[in-house]
Amino acid sequence: MDNQDYAGIEVSKDELLVALRRGEQTLPLKSFPNTPPGHRDLARYLARKGRVVRACLESTGVYGLDLALLLHKRAGVEVMVANPRAVRHFAQALMQRSKTDPLDTLMLLEFAARMPFRSWQPPSSPALHLCALARRIEAIKDLCAAEQNRLHAASVAQALPAVVRQDLRRSIAFHERALARLTTQARKLIAADPLFQERFDYLDSAPGIASTSAIAILAELTMLSPDLDVRQWVAAAGIDPREYSSGSSVHKKTRISKAGNRHLRRALYMPALVAVRHDLHLRAFYQHLLAKGKAKLQALVAVMRKLLHAIFGMFKHHQPYDGSKIYRFQPQDPQPVLCTTEVA
Q: Average pLDDT of 33-49?
A: 94
**Average pLDDT over all residues of the chain:** 91
As a whole-number percent, the residues of the chain with pLDDT over 70 amount to 93
Q: Average pLDDT of 108-120?
A: 95
Instruction: Check pLDDT > 80 for residue 248.
Output: no
Q: Average pLDDT of 144-153?
A: 96
pLDDT of residue 251: 65
Q: What is the pTM of this model?
A: 0.87
pLDDT of residue 336: 45
Instruction: Check pLDDT > 50 for residue 167.
Output: yes
Answer whether 64's CB lies under 8 Å from 58's CB.
Answer: yes
Q: 73-78 contacts: CB < 8 A, separation 24 or more?
A: 74/43, 74/46, 74/47, 75/47, 76/46, 76/47, 76/48, 76/49, 76/51, 76/52, 77/43, 77/46, 77/47, 77/52, 77/53, 78/52, 78/53, 78/54, 78/117, 78/119
pLDDT of residue 49: 86
Q: Average pLDDT of 117-122?
A: 92
pLDDT band at 318; cut points 50, 70, 90: very high
48-81 residue pLDDT tens: 888 999 999 998 778 999 999 999 999 999 999 9
